[in-house]
Chain A
Amino acid sequence: MPSETHEETLALREQFNTEAQQKDASTLGMWIFLITEIMFFGGMFLAYTVYRRWYADVFAVASSSLNVYIGAANTVVLLCSSLTMVLAVRAAQLGNRKAIVWFLILTLLLGGVFLGVKAYEWNEKFVEHHIPGPNFHFEGIAQQGPAQLFFSLYFAMTGLHALHMVIGAGLLIMLIVQAGKGRFSASYMTPVDVVGLYWHFVDIIWIFLFPLLYLIDRHLGK
């Protein structure tokens, strides 16, 4: 029996039978997108692993030149933004429209702080000539090539992560505008939910980037 036609709403489009079915489909779709992202970042993590094995000594020295306290503080900032994001999703589940907007704005601000700190760190690298290229110079080691390789991977990985943050910030602004207009309710909050998944995913990428880039060779450096 084909299901009888129903009135179309945001939470129940024509092609779905129930609201739960539509919600599950959206969640699964977002996860499948995130899985393509896992494989995308996985390739970068793998490249880092291979070169770190080959040039372990140089990578240890280069890694130890990063400021671990700034990295740790930025990790805390990002974790705070994940907390406010999940509270925004919770506010949406409860249909508390004002709270959605405020938690999303907080998330956006914390994301901005993270990117600001990241910009400060990158600027430091320019000042120290740690940017891969003709002016690259890393003090105290003979092998400049592998050191450039470390910083190439550092900029590629943190840069791609930051790009995801910028896209996330754009999505948050879109949500804030829509939530401000009262588009989301307890029965329809899928966009808040899936953007939340994206934001937490970007957080997880940083959870791995932080120890791999800043921490694991710390006891060898200096």
Chain B
Amino acid sequence: MTEHTEHIDSARSYVLVFLALITLTVVTTAVAFVDLGDFSVVAALAIAVCKMLLVALFFMHVRHSTKLTKLVLAGALVWLGILIVFTLTDFATRGLAGIPGR
């Protein structure tokens, strides 16, 4: 049973990813005190997505995962998108028509 070729990342690469995550945490905290208007949310979420990708790709080994696992994950994100986008198409557009209750 030697066909099992597992990718073992170096400890150094993990430490580098960790340092990137710490840096992003400091950046997101610092940026929160700057008035960017509506872009405060965008900046905070963009940094959070970067951190999520670092954790998922490196710490959770998604970059070494099988195509099936990657496909299933992409599918999950699509479903999460449906949950959020379709709900907000209701809540975020109420009152736009100028008709009470619409």
Contacts and interface: CB of A to CB of B under 8 A. Distances in A.
Nearest to A217: B40
Chain B interface: which size bin? Answer: 35 or more
Interface string B30-42: 0011111000110
Contacts of A147: none
A38 B9 CA distance: 26
Interface in B12-51: 14-15, 18, 21-22, 25-26, 28-29, 32-36, 40-41, 44-45, 47-48, 51
B9 A90 contact: yes
B60 A200 contact: yes
- Max chain A C-beta neighbours (<10 A), residue from B21, B52, B88: B21
Interface string A193-213: 000110011011001101110
A131 B74 CA distance: 38
A12 B66 contact: no
Contacts of A27: 65-66, 69
B53 to A, nearest CB: 10
Chain A interface: which size bin? Answer: 35 or more
Contact of A90 (B11, B26, B55, B79): B11
B8 to A, nearest CB: 5
Interface of B: 1, 3-4, 6, 8-9, 11, 14-15, 18, 21-22, 25-26, 28-29, 32-36, 40-41, 44-45, 47-48, 51-52, 55-56, 58-60, 65-66, 68-69, 72-73, 76, 79-80, 83-84, 87-88, 91-92
